[in-house]
Amino acid sequence: MTTNIETALRHLFERYPDGGPLNIGRDSGDPLAPDFVAKSLKVRDVPNGYATFESPDLIASFEAALFKNPTGYHLVIVASGGSVNDFTVFRCTQEGLTADPAALKISTEEAIQLYADAGLLSADGKKGAERKTLEDWAGTIVTLALPRKGRSIVIKADVEEPPSLYGKKLGTVDYVDGRFVVRSLKSKASR
């Protein structure tokens, strides 16, 4: 286990040299070099467990944050690039680092409810997105903004129809007692 973001990322790429569940794509198609983390880290905020990494030959850029708990930590990585934003969660315990897809999930229906709770869902599309638009959206309809400090991830709208919606805050994901809790703007405790 570690409390250092750079060490956590090195462990990740040692465990998954091809990026594993991150689906890290390189324009060249070559595998990641062992020194990928050292060369690609752009922002290193080790005391706060935050980092961004990007490389000219990567298709996406990434940000990572550590969320510590008594048995280890969760490492959350958000990828953004092209028209898709994605996130992956890893759990590290004494047994090691593994992907943890159940740790943080936001289904399409839950995301649509976040839009509704934020007042950004409308029947006519004039003051927000229409339900059908969100259901049919080709990519993700929410994105996560990891914190530089603290334990709350901001959930933002990731649709561009209407253009005024893009980037609007929909809620938060708070890290409480070693688990992620999604909170809408309306209810403050959606699950």
Question: Region 109-114: what's the mean pLDDT?
Answer: 94
Q: Give the pLDDT of residue 80.
A: 78
Question: Which among 21, 170, 41, 43 has a CA at the least distance from the CA of 103?
Answer: 21
Given a contact cutoff of 8 angstroms between Cβ atoms, the answer to whether 177 and 100 are in contact is: no
Q: How would residue 25 be classed by pLDDT, with cut points 50, 70 and 90?
A: low
Q: Mention every residue, 6+ apart, whose C-beta is less than 8 A from residue 151.
A: 67, 174, 175, 176
The pLDDT tens digits of the residues spanning 53-62 come to 877 777 777 8
Question: Region 27-53: what's the mean pLDDT?
Answer: 75
Q: Give the pLDDT of residue 174.
A: 95
Q: In this predicted model, which residue has the larger pLDDT, 88 or 61?
A: 88
pLDDT at 111 exceeding the cut of 70: yes
Question: Which among 161, 160, 158, 186 has a CA at the least distance from the CA of 171?
Answer: 186
Extended beta strands in the chain, E state: 41-45, 50-53, 61-69, 72-81, 84-93, 96-99, 142-145, 152-157, 169-176, 179-184
Q: Give the pLDDT of residue 14.
A: 79
Whats the size of the chain, residue-wise? 191
Q: In this predicted model, which residue has the larger pLDDT, 94 or 152?
A: 152
Q: Mention every residue, 6+ apart, whose C-beta is less than 8 A from residue 6.
A: 37, 41, 44, 46, 51
Q: What is the pTM of this model?
A: 0.85
Q: In this predicted model, which residue has the larger pLDDT, 35 or 127?
A: 127
Q: Give the pLDDT of residue 164.
A: 85
Q: In this predicted model, which residue has the larger pLDDT, 28 or 67?
A: 67
pLDDT at 135 exceeding the cut of 70: yes
pLDDT at 190 exceeding the cut of 50: no
pLDDT at 73 exceeding the cut of 80: yes
Given a contact cutoff of 8 angstroms between Cβ atoms, the answer to whether 44 and 5 are in contact is: yes
Given a contact cutoff of 8 angstroms between Cβ atoms, the answer to whether 49 and 5 are in contact is: yes
Most confident option among 58-62, 93-97, 142-146: 142-146
